[in-house]
Amino acid sequence: MKTYIGIDLGGTNVRVCKIMANGNILQEVKSLSYGMEGPEVVIENLVKLIKSIDAYQECSGIGIGVPGPVDTVNKVMKISSNLKGFTDYPIAKVLEEKVGLPVFVDNDANVAGLAEALVGAGKGLGIVYYVTISTGIGGALIVNGKLISGKSGYAGETGNMIVDPYRKPFNNLNPGASESEASGRALTRKGKELFGEDAIQNAGDVFALAASGNSDAQKLIDQMTTDLAILFSHVAHIVDPHMFVIGGGVLKSKAQWFDTMIEKFKTFVHPGMRDVKFEVAKLEEPGIVGAAMLPVSNGL
């Protein structure tokens, strides 16, 4: 079975793993990423880590998952707030020259979705749409095993999709953007507005209040399920996926929203679309496995 190298490159830490085509992790090395010290230091460290992998030259390719949008055609990051100097830096090209293997780059939500589509919950299906609902909302579209990144890497930017254009905008996102209305951060914000700064620290506090019978908290969650149902309806009418795979921290409170959201979704699509599957993401390490799947998505 072919093997690949997956790299999870964050602003603070970096992990490099040797991974099989079926998603099994064979070997892991990690270190600080030196993200604020500039590309040269980051790359030198990365090359050292890669070369410490057993028989790294026999791997079929390298994939890197990074935070933020990526121009996958030119293989460069477009925004790199946690990795100083990496905007438009030719990270893939430089690594290819230093390591001698083909290198691909994509953002962390895209690679997580790719992992779920290839070796996770959506394995073997034609069209998989992945949505992670956590602090923010991200997503990824995978068609016949290939990640669709779009013209400039913005495909799957699910968090900026409008669910109601007449709400207030937040954080440079659209008015009524799904991330501003239905993410963990959104639920926290709305909870603080209703119950006070001190009563709510995170989305879990809102879910706990709702579970204890608080009707205002229940209304917040009811609105969240409507907003998510509209979001999934948007996606369904564009790509009609075989499966939606849902990941992210808000799944910790799955019992309080997941099934309700799906029932509402069914009211927002044509009758023939109501049987689309919604599955929970099942991989323990979608980020690093998905990075390793980038060469697979590109035919290697």
Number of separate helices (H) and strands (E) present in the chain: 9, 12
Tokens of 37: 């010290």
* Single residue of 28, 37, 96, 164 touching a copy of itself by CB under 8 A: 164
Least separation in angstroms between residue 176's CB and a copy of itself is 9
* Range 32-61, binding a copy of itself (CB under 8 A): none
d(CA 288, CA 111): 8
- Binds a copy of itself (CB under 8 A): choice among 106, 108, 116, 157: 157
Residue closer to a copy of itself by CB (options 4, 265) is 265
Q: Which of 42, 83, 162, 292 binds a copy of itself (CB under 8 A)?
A: 162
Q: Site for a copy of itself (CB under 8 A): which residue of 241, 248, 290, 295?
A: 241
Contact between 276 and a copy of itself per CB under 8 A = yes
Q: Interface with a copy of itself includes 258 (CB under 8 A)? A: no
Least distance from C-beta 45 to a copy of itself, angstroms? Answer: 28
Structure-token match 């409507």, residue found: 226
Does 64 interact with a copy of itself (rule: CB under 8 A)? no
Among 145, 153, 184, 290, binds a copy of itself (CB under 8 A): 153
DSSP-derived secondary structure letter, 254: G
Which residues is 130 bridged to in the sheet?
A: 140, 245
Name the nearest CA neighbour of 103 among 9, 31, 191, 185. 9
Residue in the block written with tokens 């209703």: 194
Q: What is the distance, to the nearest Å, from the Cα of residue 71 to the centroid of all Cα atoms in its chain?
A: 16
Cα torsion angle, 190, 194, 200, 206, sign:
negative
Q: For 99-203, where are the E strands, in sequence order?
A: 103-107, 127-133, 137-143, 146-148
Decide: is 299 part of the binding site for a copy of itself (CB under 8 A).
no
The alpha helices in 89-182, defined as continuous H runs, are: 91-99, 108-119, 178-182
The yes or no reply on residue 266 touching a copy of itself (CB under 8 A) is no
Binders of a copy of itself in range 118-147 (CB under 8 A): 126-127, 139, 141, 143
268: left (phi over 0), alpha (psi -120 to 50) or beta: alpha
Nearer to a copy of itself, 242 or 282 (CB): 242
Q: Least distance in Å: CB of 140 to a copy of itself?
A: 10
CB 148 within 8 A of CB 114: no
The answer to whether 150 contacts a copy of itself (rule: CB under 8 A) is: yes
Q: How far is the CB of 30 from a copy of itself (least distance, A)?
A: 31
- Tell me, residue by residue from 76 to 115, as one string, x for binding to a copy of itself by CB under 8 A and - for no binding: --x-------------------------------------
**Residue 132 is which amino acid?**
T
Among 151, 196, 197, 212, interactor with a copy of itself by CB under 8 A: 151
Q: Which stretch binds a copy of itself (CB under 8 A): 29-37, 234-242, 254-262, 279-287?
A: 234-242
d(CA 90, CA 219): 48
Please, which residues have CB within 8 angstroms of residue 42's CB and are 6 or more apart in sequence? 9, 14, 33, 34, 35, 83, 86
CA distance 68 to 80: 7
Binding site residues, a copy of itself, CB under 8 A = 69, 78, 126-127, 139, 141, 143, 148-158, 160-166, 174, 226, 230, 233-242, 268-270, 272-273, 276
